[in-house]
């Protein structure tokens, strides 16, 4: 008997806006992107999270914000 579990993460962009500050690498503007991620087991939703990701608009690097 073989049981296969299909678990995947789906991401959907909720919105973007300009964030304060500048990129430490090139000095470009920083963009904040709100992403909703959902873990699914087959078709059943297991977990929903809303994340905020920062990136530079000029060099496209992903930036990390420390609290």
Total of domains in the chain:
1
9-54, pLDDT tens digit by residue? 788 999 999 999 999 999 999 999 999 988 877 777 788 899 999 9
2 within some domain: no
Alpha-carbon distance 16 to 42, whole Å? 29
1 within some domain: no
Alpha-carbon distance 17 to 31, whole Å? 6
Domain that holds residue 36: 8-63
Collapsing DSSP to helix, strand or coil, 42 comes out as coil
48 within some domain: yes
Q: What is the pTM of this model?
A: 0.73
The pLDDT of residue 8: 75
17 within some domain: yes
55: nearest Cα among 28, 32, 26: 32
């Amino acid at each position: 008997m073989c049981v296969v579990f299909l678990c995947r993460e789906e991401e959907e962009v909720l919105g973007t806006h300009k964030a304060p500050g500048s990129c430490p690498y090139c000095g470009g503007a920083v963009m904040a992107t709100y992403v909703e991620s959902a873990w699914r087991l087959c078709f059943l939703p297991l977990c929903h999270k809303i994340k905020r990701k920062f990136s530079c608009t000029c060099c496209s690097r992903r930036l990390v914000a420390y609290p």
